[in-house]
A and B are shown apart, each in its own frame.
Chain A
Amino acid sequence: MSESYDYLFKFLVIGSAGTGKSCLLHQFIESKFKEDSSHTIGVEFGSKVVPVSGKQVKLQIWDTAGQERFKSVTRSYYRGAAGALLVYDVTRRDSFNALANWLADARSLASPNIVVLLVGNKSDLESQREVTFLEASRFAQENELMFLETSAKSGQNVVEAFSKCAKAIVTKIESGELDPDRIGSGIQYGNLKPTRNSASAATGRSCPCKV
Chain B
Amino acid sequence: MRLLEMLSMGNDPGSNKYIITGQWDSSDPALESLNLVEEPSSANKSYVTVAIDLVIRGIQEPVRLQLETKVKVYPKNERFWNLSKRQLVQQFYLNLKELAASDTNEPQFEVISVDTSGEIDRTNKSLGITLSGLMSLQLVDPILSPKEEKEDEFRDDELSDNDEPMLSGTGNVSKDCSAALLEQWSEALTKWTQTGTRPKQLTHLVYQGIPDALRAEIWQRLAGHSEDVMDKYRVLITKESSCESVIQRDINRTFPAHDFFKKAGGLGQDSLFRLSKAYAVYDEEVGYCQGLSFLAAALLLHMPEEQAFCVLVQIMYHYKLRDLFKDGFENLNMRLYQLGRLLEDQVQDLWQHFQEKGVEEHMYGSQWFLTLFTAKFPLHLVFHILDVFLLLGTDTLFLVALALLTSSKKDLLQLDFEGVLKYFRVNLPKKYRTPKASAQLMKKACSLNVKKLHKYEKEYLTLKNAQDKADLYGNEFERLKNELQFSEEDRERLRTEVTQVKEMIQREVQRANDERQRNEVIISDYKKICSQLSQRLEEQVQAGKILESQERICPKCKGISENSWVDPLSADADPRLAQALQRVRELELELAQTKLEHVEAECRNQDLIHQLNAVSSELQASKSSWLNKTLSSFKEAAKKDGASLPARRESKDGMVRDAA
Contact = CB atoms under 8 A, between A and B. Distances in A.
Check if A and B associate: yes
Interface of A: 1, 17-18, 29-30, 32, 35-47, 60, 65-67, 69-70, 72-73, 76
A72 B331 CA distance: 12
B418 interface: yes
Interface string B362-373: 110011001100
14 contacts: A18-B249, A18-B253, A36-B257, A38-B169, A41-B290, A41-B366, A42-B370, A43-B366, A44-B425, A45-B418, A45-B421, A45-B422, A47-B418, A67-B290
B164 interface: yes
B289 interface: yes
Interface residues of B, number: 36
B249 A17 contact: yes
Interface in B127-165: 163-164
A69 B425 CA distance: 23
Interface string B219-251: 000000000000000000000000000100110
Query: Which 8 A-B pairs give the minimum distances between C-beta atoms?
Result: A36-B256, A42-B366, A72-B328, A38-B168, A18-B249, A45-B421, A41-B291, A39-B253
B375 interface: yes
A29 B162 CA distance: 12
B329 interface: yes
Contacts of B257: 36
A42 B422 CA distance: 15
Nearest to B249: A18
B412 interface: no
Contact of A60 (B328, B329, B332, B418): B418
B58 interface: no
A43 B363 CA distance: 7
Contact of B254 (A39, A40, A72): A39
A38 B429 CA distance: 15
Contacts of B332: 73
Contacts of B366: 41-43, 73
Which of A37, A42, A65, A70 has most chain B Cβ within 10 Å?
A42
B418 A1 contact: yes
A32 B163 CA distance: 11
Contacts of A44: 425
A17 B169 CA distance: 20
Given A39-B250, A42-B370, A73 B416 contact: no
Given A36-B257, A39-B250, A43-B366, A30 B163 contact: yes
Nearest to A66: B290
Given A47-B418, A67-B289, A72-B328, A42 B367 contact: yes
B253 A37 contact: yes
A42 B362 contact: yes
B362 A76 contact: yes
Nearest to B170: A36
B418 A41 contact: no
B255 interface: yes
Given A41-B367, A73-B366, A65 B290 contact: yes
Nearest to B169: A38
B412 to A, nearest CB: 15
Nearest to A73: B329
A194 to B, nearest CB: 23
Interface in B326-341: 328-329, 332
Contacts of A76: 362
B654 interface: no
A69 B422 contact: no
Interface string B425-440: 1000000000000000
B40 interface: no
Nearest to B291: A41
A41 B167 contact: no
B256 A45 contact: no
Given A17-B290, A36-B257, A69-B289, A41 B371 contact: yes
